[in-house]
Each structure stands twice: as C-alpha cells, then as structure tokens.
Amino acid sequence: NAGVTQTPKFRVLKTGQSMTLLCAQDMNHEYMYWYRQDPGMGLRLIHYSVGEGTTAKGEVPDGYNVSRLKKQNFLLGLESAAPSQTSVYFCASRRNRENQPQHFGDGTRLSIL
Amino acid sequence: GENVEQHPSTLSVQEGDSAVIKCTYSDSASNYFPWYKQELGKGPQLIIDIRSNVGEKKDQRIAVTLNKTAKHFSLHITETQPEDSAVYFCAASMEGTSYGKLTFGQGTILTVHP
C-alpha cells in the first residue's frame, strides 16, 4: 500500500498562475483533508471532505477550491496564486470511525514568486 | 473555535535525557488528543494518542498525560535517542461531532545531541 500520495512534490509558480495539487489514498478512507504548514504556525486546515462529492471549508479556505469526484482523490486548486500562498501543503485521510488517526502524505512544497 | 498552544517551540537535550512537551487547549468539548512526529521532508506520523476518559497512556519510551480540569496534556519521551530528533505536534479534536478535524499546536523542534 502506498498510503497517501501527493503530487507534485515541488512547484514554483508566478503570481496569478493557477494550479491543482493532487492527493490520492488507497486505504478506502472516507474523510480527507488539506492543510498548509507555515513556520511557527503548525498545520492549519484549508478544506476537508467527509465523502465522495462532498467538501467543506476549514480554518483558512480563502483563495483555494477543492473537489472530491472520486473517493480516493482529493484535489486542491489555486485559481490565482498569491505570494501569501507560499507554503508546504499536506493532505491527510482517515476512516469515519471515532478516534482514528489521520494519515498524511509527504507534502507539496509550493513557492509563489 | 478550538485553540491549542504548544510549548516549548524548541527543545535541546542530551542523549539519554528525558524530554517533555506541553500543550493547552481551550474547548472543554475536545475529547481526543493525538501527538504527531514529523521528520525532515516527510508528513506528520501519529506516535501516540489519548482519549478524554483516560489520564495517562504509555508506549515503550513515550507517554502522554491528560489533565481535563486544567485542559492541558503533555508528551514525555524517556531515554531519548538521536533518532527522536524531529518536529513534534500536539492536536485536539472533538470526536463524534467534528468529522475528525484536528486543531494543531505550533510544533516543537526536538534536538537530541549524541
């Protein structure tokens, strides 16, 4: 099992460009999450999904959109990238039972120039 | 919403010493408290967790304690080894009502010197 796979691993964008980050999990988990990690701020939840076809806003959703067309995939989109979106992005998934751990991918390092 | 504060932000110990990281949370409805370890270039990995109906949990050299009244919980690592060097995050969740959403602390960079 690969677990949670994120692509790409690194990307550099210019301000105003758009891109999509892909997260794929092979554990048949119902819940999926997108976080951003910035120095000194821990991980902050951007958007999450509790099942195929559903999405919801997290703590810092502005400037991002998400889609979950298939249970195993969760896409994070930046329509018009801004330097403030320079960060490391992590995807996670977990089962919909109580007290289950979240399983994380290895992140996408995104720089916006 | 929930707020989790974590201290210290950096911790340096000698191999064999103990390390303690502390977190406080604000919402008394939080009932699940996991700890994650993040190595360089990797995603966080769960190392231990505790539920609100338990005061302490141990797994070999790692233990977590929870004080619900004071709303704080701590990670204890004994007999530290260089491979324990990493960033550690605490988190809190309201299991059963929040779809597993976690609120993370700011992280602690632990360095274990040989």
What CA–CA distance (Å, rounded) separates A55 from A50? 7
**Would you call A95 helix, strand, or coil by DSSP?**
coil
Are A48 and A31 in contact by the 8 Å Cβ rule? The answer is yes
Closest CA to B22 of B92, B69, B103, B90: B90
By C-alpha distance, the chain A residue nearest B50 is A99
**Residue in B45, B100, B107 closest to A31 by CB:** B100
CA distance A75 to A91: 9
CA B81 from centre of chain = 17
Which residues of chain A does B32 touch, with a Cβ-Cβ cutoff of 8 Å? Answer: 98-99
pLDDT in tens, B44-77: 999 999 998 889 999 999 999 999 999 999 999 9
pLDDT in tens, A39-84: 888 899 999 999 999 999 999 999 999 999 999 999 999 999 999 9
Asked if B41 is an interface residue toward chain A (Cβ–Cβ < 8 A), one would say yes
Q: How many CB atoms lie within 10 A of CB A5?
A: 14
Query: Using CA of residue B110, residue B74, residue B56, residue B40, what is the dihedral sign?
Result: negative
Of residues A43, A92, A106, nearest to B41 (C-beta): A106
A74 in B contact zone (CB under 8 Å) = no
